[in-house]
Amino acid sequence: MREVSVSRISEALCQMFIEANRELSEDLEQCIRRSPQQESNPLGKSILQDICENLDAARQLNLPICQDTGMAVVFAEIGQEVHLTGGSFEQAVNEGVRRGYVEGLLRCSVVSDPLRRINTEDNTPAVLHTRIVPGDKVTLTACPKGFGSENMSRLKMFTPAADPRQIVDFVTETVRIAGGNPCPPLVLGVGIGGDFELCAQLAKKALCRPLDEPNSDPYYRQLEEDMLKAVNELKVGPQGFGGDVTALAVNIEPYATHIAGLPVAVNVGCHVTRHKKITI
Ligand code: SF4
């Protein structure tokens, strides 16, 4: 049994949320830097150039890329041969989030109750998804999720008779309804299968797959390409002002489902779809 102190988890998450908010992952940054050449609308091109300048400014000034520093989503994969010591795992996760947002001077956007809406002032609690996996490592993925894009996300329970074309139409309809609200160009995470709640979680997990890592299943790789093409044909464009670059990527995460159902969830990610992953 390998011992891992929960203080290491707090420390790691603190740093990860600060860094994820200041610098995009290399794969997404490269996509954004290439995008002005792919845009024919002069206004869209100029917006994409502004987005590139904003990335440079955030890096030089050590500031967040966006004012919405997100709700703190954490995926944790804990090896079953790990013994976590020194306190509660969930408290350690929230301590890492608290320190990251307070010490990193990141905007605190979380309210303690969805209806009474009092700000917790430290961006806790996190949304935590934990899996027990083989091995003696702890893998953490930190995703600060902005709600301009989160609010545009949708889930639909299709019948099993639905064909892939209908799923592509649902994804494009989601982007059309969203318009400029989720700050395009977008990254779309699509969950297909599972049950109601797992499907939404799959969509969020899909947003964390690096954009330069192709889907390992050629069937879904093709479906991702079809969705990306259909979404870009909408011509919503950068920030919704029209143009060719509406989305940068579509990532699908499938899972087994029931014979009587076909859940599909679209988690809309903006041009600052942030995530950072480490293994302890
Ligand atoms: S949707 Fe994304 S880019 Fe727009 S305000 Fe929210 S975090 Fe920032």
Res 6: pLDDT:
98
Pocket test for ligand 1, best of 24, 149, 271 (most atoms within 8 A of CB): 149
- CA pair distance 35, 108, nearest whole angstrom: 31
280 contacts 96 by C-beta, under 8 angstroms: no
Give the model's pLDDT for residue 258. Answer: 98
Q: pLDDT exceeding 90 applies to what percent of the chain?
A: 99
Q: What is the pLDDT of residue 16?
A: 98
**Low-confidence residues in the chain, pLDDT < 50:** none
Q: What's the chain's average pLDDT?
A: 97
Contact between 84 and 2 (Cβ < 8 Å): no
Give the pLDDT score at 118. Answer: 98
Alpha-carbon distance 29 to 34, whole Å? Answer: 9
pLDDT for the residue numbered 243: 98
Could you give the CA distance from residue 206 to residue 253 in angstroms, rounded to a whole number? 5
Pairwise CA distance, residues 237 & 99, whole Å: 37
* Ligand 1 atom closest to the CA of 149, numbered from 1: 1
| CA atoms 270, 147, 103, 58: torsion sign | positive
Ligand 1, CB cutoff 6 Å, lining residues: 66, 68, 146, 148-149, 182-183, 270-272
At residue 93, what is the residue type?
Answer: V
- Going from the Cα of 252 to the center of ligand 1, the distance in angstroms, rounded, reads 21
Amino acid 156: pLDDT:
98
